[in-house]
Amino acid sequence: MPDLSGKVAIVTGCASGIGAATVRRLVADGARVLGTDLDPVRGQALCGETGALFVQQDVADRARWPQIVATAVEAFGRLDILVNNAGMVSHAGIGDLDDEAMFAAWDTVLAVNLTGTMAGCRAAIAAMRENPGGAKGAIVNIASTTAIAPLPTDVGYSASKAGVRILSKSVATWCAKAGLAIRCNTVIPGATHTGILDAAEVTMPGLMAAVARTSPLNRLADPAETAAAIAFLASDECPFMTGAEMLVDGAAMSIHPGF
């Protein structure tokens, strides 16, 4: 297991799914964690269970990001890790809604998934540059296999997650060229058993089984499996790994769709 002793992390979207599993994993690996989420009840419960600190946050609120980072620094003295996990879907294809509804859905999804991730990176880098002992840190942004093979039924989610891939590379190379030991990588989960999928199953029975079949392993990932990849990228085990993409998709992107 990676040793994260003495490190301080922020994990967004901590109330459930991959975010909750990531908080549990980082705490187990020795990190002190600030978890954030829109849902104060489940977020506080998860953080209370794990010993993490909880703060309510809408990641799309750009003005709030410096305050979130400052809270972590004030509580723990530094910031070493940011996991931009919070995200949402719209379930809207390009021609599914009228103009007003389509653009409202698009703007909301991009504000959370892409602009929120960028704002988090920006605020985290500012704090990591001031870390005792010199600028150092690791940012892990969570994308999706829809960033590679997009969903026709969700243009906003697919586009935003594709944007996260390129955003991470831009952040990684900017930090490297600035001489900062701040890495930025992307985790690309495949079909994972999360709250989003549970909710979708209610209105689309059989969806989970169909999604599971997208992997040659013929199952959904447990969020803890993605959290393990996040913990590795957040650790000091891979200092030359930046601007990279780590697929945790059960080989879904490695096989022709006809097979």
Catalytic residue set? 157
Rounded to whole angstroms, how far apart are CA atoms 115 and 110?
6
- CB proximity list for 14: less than 8 A, separation 6 or greater: 20, 22, 23, 35, 36, 37, 43, 46, 47, 52, 54, 85
Structure tokens at 44: 């506080």
Strands (E), the chain: 8-12, 32-37, 53-56, 81-84, 136-142, 181-189, 245-248
Estimate the share of the chain in helix, then strand, then coil, as percent rounded to the nearest 5.
Answer: 50, 15, 35
Torsion of CA 126, 132, 138, 139, to 10 degrees: -30
Tokens found for residue 116: 């929120």
Place of tokens 């975010």: 19
Q: Can you read off the two tokens belonging to residue 98?
A: 């009228």
- In the DSSP assignment, the letter for residue 238 is -
